[in-house]
Amino acid sequence: MSFKPLQGIRILDLTSVVVGPVCTWRLGQYGAEIIKVENPEGDLMRGLGGQSPTGQHSGAYLHLNRGKRNVCLDLKKPGARDVMDRLIESVDVIVANMRPQALQKLGIDAETIRARFPEKIYCLITGYGTDGPYAGLPTYDSVVQGVTGMAGLFLERDGAPNYVPMLICDHVAGEIAAGSILAAIVEYQSTGKGCTLEVPMFETMAAFVLQEHLAQQSFDPPVGPVGDRRLLSPHNKPVQTANGWISFTVNTDSQVRAFLQVTGRNNLLDDARFNSVSARAKYVKEWFEVRGTPLTDKSTDEWLELLQKADIAAQPCHTLETLQHDKHLKAVGLIKHEDHPTEGKTAAIRASIKVNDNFLDLRTPSQPKGWESIKILSEMGLSPSQIDELVSSGAVISSNN
């Protein structure tokens, strides 16, 4: 469908790997024109994200860089710096997730750019911000999971720290950065003023962890230990059935009664430890032992039918192999296959947001490195001879002559 509130907004994407590409991908979903700049080595995620037919478009790269126009510049070459200046002048928003020191060295940091163009919106996504003892240190998602205490949640629950096996911090921080840019665009449209945004992953994710797990220590004096006892219970996990696993949650008193009845635990219906929200909050350990007991006398489908009939939130616990074949995802068409310029047939994951009863348009496939270098330079007014000189010098790399 045609829902493009950011149509006419141009965004210079100086990001790589996951957190920055998530941010600009989201803005592209709303109609912004995204110009992604890569260096000659290319975005690390092209190869880091797994194997691909050409070795240049891992699955993660494909999905996070849809709808972006690609320019490849070697900023060590003088001509490339001139091209970058033209690009900066032509856009409304600049998004970067390089370390501040590297940006300053290249002269594409927020202070330098906004001194020349105060109307620009500049969003810097960092590991630790630009203040404090960690400022400027390198980081990746797993490091952020560790330093925020997210990995340490598993220590209390399972006896050893562990990482969530997806780049959850990158995704969350990227989406928050996109939201901050949307707010800045609204501010610019009403006041004409640009701004500098900074989204530090450490503080952002530490806040997420603490919002849930500061818990009883949110009060002075504390009324109990730190941590949400429900989420930290070793029994808070998918439950085994006769032929697989299911995930379910029961929170309200009516849901709990229905669950106890469906699972044949009528003897617990009048148990004072479990018959109210406050009682279950007090007897978390005992309640989750009940909830987490295996249900191996029936199959997954049988249990799902019984639980869903009782209006209990329950679904199969998918594996990575089974998720893509889920009947609901197939019915709503989350994944389709399309032709890619260099990779053959590829899976395309559409946007999950619906507007006026239609899902947002699926944008064009990710591009090979330097795919639109020549086209974009031409649009900026460079002559064919100027472009040829830049390509010949190696300042500009083109993969689509």
Model pLDDT for residues 258-316, shown as the tens digit of each residue: 999 999 999 999 999 999 999 999 999 999 999 999 999 999 999 999 999 999 999 99
Number of structural domains, the chain? Answer: 2
**Tell me, what CATH number does 119's domain have?**
3.40.50.10540
pLDDT greater than 90 at residue 247: yes
Q: Does 352 reside within a domain? A: no
Q: Does 189 reside within a domain? A: yes
Q: Are residues 195 and 282 in the same domain?
A: no
**Tell me, what CATH number does 285's domain have?**
3.30.1540.10
Domain closes at, from 260, 294, 316: 316
Span 103-116, average pLDDT: 95
Q: Does 344 reside within a domain? A: no
- The model carries a pTM of 0.94
Q: Are residues 60 and 173 in the same domain?
A: yes
Span 220-236, average pLDDT: 94
Q: Which residues of 130-150 are buried (b: 16+ CB within 10 A; e: fewer)?
A: eeeeebeeebebebbbebbbb
Instruction: Give the span between the Cα atoms of 319 and 67, in whole angstroms.
Output: 29
Q: What is the pLDDT of residue 364?
A: 94
Q: What is the pLDDT of residue 221?
A: 96
Contact 132, 206 (CB under 8 A): no
Q: Does 56 reside within a domain? A: yes
Instruction: Give the span between the Cα atoms of 127 and 169, in whole angstroms.
Output: 10
For residue 199, give its domain range: 10-208+364-397
Span 360-382, average pLDDT: 95
Q: Are residues 247 and 161 in the same domain?
A: no
For the chain, give the secondary structure using H, E and C. Answer: CCCCCCCCCEEEEECCCCHHHHHHHHHHHCCCEEEEEECCCCCCHHHHCCCCCCCCCCHHHHHHCCCEEEEEECCCCHHHHHHHHHHHHHCCEEEECCCHHHHHHHCCCHHHHHHHCCCCEEEEEECCCCCCCCCCCCCCHHHHHHHCCCCCHHHHHHCCCCCCCCCHHHHHHHHHHHHHHHHHHHHHHHHCCCEEEEEEHHHHHHHHHHHHHCHHHHCCCCCCCCCCCCCCCCCCCCEEECCCEEEEECCCHHHHHHHHHHCCCHHHCCCCCCCCHHHHHHCHHHHHHHHCCCECCCCHHHHHHHHHHCCCEEEECCCHHHHCCCHHHHHHCCEEEEEECCCEEEEEECCCCEECCEECCCCCCCCCCCCCHHHHHHHCCCCHHHHHHHHHHCCEECCCC
Q: Are residues 165 and 293 in the same domain?
A: no
Domain closes at, from 316, 345, 379: 316
Q: Does 329 reside within a domain? A: no
Q: Are residues 59 and 177 in the same domain?
A: yes
Strand pairing report for 313-316 and 245-249: antiparallel
Q: Are residues 49 and 158 in the same domain?
A: yes
Q: Are residues 261 and 168 in the same domain?
A: no
Span 350-358, average pLDDT: 92
Q: Does 177 reside within a domain? A: yes
Q: Does 300 reside within a domain? A: yes
Confidence class for position 2, pLDDT limits 50, 70, 90: confident
Half-sphere exposure of 230 (CA within 13 A, CB side): 13
Q: What is the pLDDT of residue 401?
A: 59
Q: Are residues 251 and 185 in the same domain?
A: no
Those residues whose C-beta lies under 8 Å from the C-beta of residue 176, and which sit 6 or more positions away, are 199, 204
Q: Does 225 reside within a domain? A: no
Domain closes at, from 279, 298, 316: 316
Integer-rounded Cα Rg, in Å, for the chain is 25
Percent of the chain with pLDDT strictly greater than 90: 96
Those residues whose C-beta lies under 8 Å from the C-beta of residue 224, and which sit 6 or more positions away, are 215, 216, 217
Q: Are residues 195 and 54 in the same domain?
A: yes
Q: Are residues 56 and 120 in the same domain?
A: yes
Instruction: Give the span between the Cα atoms of 176 and 219, in whole angstroms.
Output: 27
pLDDT greater than 70 at residue 1: no
Percent of the chain with pLDDT strictly greater than 70: 100
Q: What is the pLDDT of residue 156?
A: 87
CA-based nearest residue to 69, from 378, 334, 353: 378
Q: Are residues 176 and 305 in the same domain?
A: no
Q: Are residues 78 and 145 in the same domain?
A: yes
